[in-house]
A and B are shown apart, each in its own frame.
Chain A
Amino acid sequence: MDHRTDALNPAAIRIRHLSVSFANRPVLRDLSLDIPAGGLTFLLGRSGSGKTTLLRAINRLNECLPGCATCGQIELQLGATRLDAYAPSTPVEELRRRAGMVFQSPNVLPLSIARNLSLPLAVTLGLGAAECEARTEQALREVHLWNEVKNRLGAPAATLSGGQQQRLCLARTLALRPDILLLDEPTASLDFKAARQIEELLAELKLRYTLLVVSHSLSQAHRLADQVFVLHDGQRIEALPESTFRDKEALMSALDELV
């Protein structure tokens, strides 16, 4: 199964002339970018280059932070509908639900394991208890967490290990049935083994979802990416040809030049 960008299959995320500033300090300047539908797209860049801000511009999460100003255009293909993210009529909550996000450090809510999944389902989708339970189990199985937690669903989510918490967050996002997944350095705060587990999950998920992953790990991009972009200082974005990021040596030397 392979969906690449072509005339019949438009970009899942289409960014045009995006600029974002915080307290009048520009972070992103006039960026344009197409993220293809399906598969796993990596966004590489140095820390401070504005990767996270770019990711959060897509689900309009920057607006929750003080002093943020955004201009430009972002279009998302969510299922059959095409959505202009910043149009005044856009339901921002639906946008955020359907472009699900996983954060850099596991951000479990201070609730039980089961409640972390069922509360958003009940609140944002208005699902009943039985449906919530079914979707919770399904999502936990999808991230291979079900067998580890099925006997302690009522325990506080904070009692899980870091890797388990991150998989719980992934499951929580998947339970809402998003069309696009935005992942912000999903393995950065994890140890090697837990990071590998997440990576394996990403490899499975990219067959079913459009994934956009922000990272600074070259080797991860090398192993997983279908497409790689590099962001420079918030103002220049560059696509790496497949031949470059498939070859580890070439990737290294290319990035040395670029960054």
Chain B
Amino acid sequence: MSKPVPPEKLAQAGAWLAALGVPAILLALLGFLLWRGVPGLSLALFFADTPPLAALRGAPVFDGLWPACLGTLALVALATAIAVPLGVASGIYLAEYATGRAKALLAFAIDLLAGIPSILMGLFGFALILFLRRTVAPDANTGLLLSALCLAVLVLPYVIGTTRLALENLPLQLRLTGASLGLSPGRTVRHLLLPAALPGIFSGVMLAVGRAAEDTAVILMTGVVANAGAPASLTGKYEALPFHIYYLAAEHQSPAELTQAFAAALVLLALTGLMFLAARVLQTRLERQWTTEPTP
């Protein structure tokens, strides 16, 4: 008669399997990416046949990543320019001014926004163009600004959430200090709470930048194309890094193009990884700021 395995041992085995399996899968993923992508990393990856300095001055680049990088840069800059003021203001309002039912309702709307699939943001942009065509602007078309707007809506909840959390997690004492100094609530927010919450708010911005840089579904619907050159106008078509990778994965004509896709994936991963690390550093700094040393 064999003894049944005790459930605790079974759970332990499962936990070890997960704890070893997940890092192993990630290692395989990263290893594969490096193996296929590193050979493609060079200046030529970005600029192809165009001399780099000339490209930086605006000479057209064919076959290189440079236009896609510029496109992603423009996209992220525009999206954060829209999302950050709006998001920080909303976060401050929710944390410091909203009360009762209004607060619950507004917070629910923001939570809902955070849960909406990114493809629906793209569909929203697409619908907006259809709407404009039928009403005021018959020749409206998808383009850079539309994508940036939809991406801004996508990352808005990140900015609002981190701003709100950074403010709400500040110690009560700081608020009391403001009040005891005779500062009005508005001035307390502006001069005491906001500066203290700034690292947290910045971490939200970094997360938003990373998310805006990596999303593909939204721009797929709102104006990204495979060959547009450097972005020329707010309403024009453009290239972007994640779409470039997606496009090459499906439509590559040669092994060299596929290598370019893997190299581009490395570049994108480095970019989002950097944003993530910056956000983490800021968050830990914020946490350290308000925790005193542990006492036994």
Contacts and interface: CB of A to CB of B under 8 A. Distances in A.
Chain A CB within 10 Å — which of B293, B294, B295, B296 has the most?
B296
A23 B294 CA distance: 9
Contacts of B293: 23
Interface string B267-296: 000000000000000000000000001111
A53 B296 CA distance: 7
B12 to A, nearest CB: 15
A110 interface: no
A66 B295 CA distance: 10
Contact of B294 (A53, A62, A67): A67
A27 interface: yes
Interface in A3-45: 22-23, 27
Interface string A182-196: 000000000000000
Q: Which 8 A-B pairs have the closest CB atoms?
A: A22-B296, A27-B296, A53-B296, A66-B294, A65-B296, A23-B294, A67-B294, A23-B293
Nearest to B8: A123
A73 to B, nearest CB: 21
B249 to A, nearest CB: 46
Interface residues of B, number: 4
Nearest to A52: B296
Interface in A105-139: none
Contacts of B296: 22, 27, 52-53, 62, 65, 68
B8 to A, nearest CB: 10
Contacts of B295: 22
Contacts, number: 14
Contacts of A65: 294, 296
A65 B296 CA distance: 8
Contacts of A68: 296
A105 B131 CA distance: 65
Nearest to A66: B294
Contacts of A53: 296
A217 to B, nearest CB: 22
A65 B295 CA distance: 10
Interface string B28-44: 00000000000000000
Given A23-B294, A65-B296, 9 more contacts: A22-B294, A22-B296, A27-B296, A52-B296, A53-B296, A62-B296, A66-B294, A67-B294, A68-B296
A67 B294 CA distance: 9
Nearest to A123: B8
A22 B293 CA distance: 11
Chain B CB within 10 Å — which of A22, A52, A53 has the most?
A22
Contacts of B294: 22-23, 65-67
A244 to B, nearest CB: 30
A45 to B, nearest CB: 14
Nearest to B296: A22
A23 B295 CA distance: 9
Contacts of A67: 294
Contacts of A22: 294-296
Interface string B214-255: 000000000000000000000000000000000000000000
A67 B295 CA distance: 10
14 contacts: A22-B294, A22-B295, A22-B296, A23-B293, A23-B294, A27-B296, A52-B296, A53-B296, A62-B296, A65-B294, A65-B296, A66-B294, A67-B294, A68-B296
A62 B293 CA distance: 17
Interface in A41-72: 52-53, 62, 65-68
A53 B295 CA distance: 11
A106 to B, nearest CB: 21
A23 B293 CA distance: 9
A174 B294 CA distance: 31
A182 B134 CA distance: 80
Nearest to B295: A22
Nearest to A65: B296
A52 B293 CA distance: 18
Interface string B123-141: 0000000000000000000
Contacts of A66: 294
A155 to B, nearest CB: 29
A66 B294 CA distance: 8
A46 to B, nearest CB: 15
Interface string B93-113: 000000000000000000000
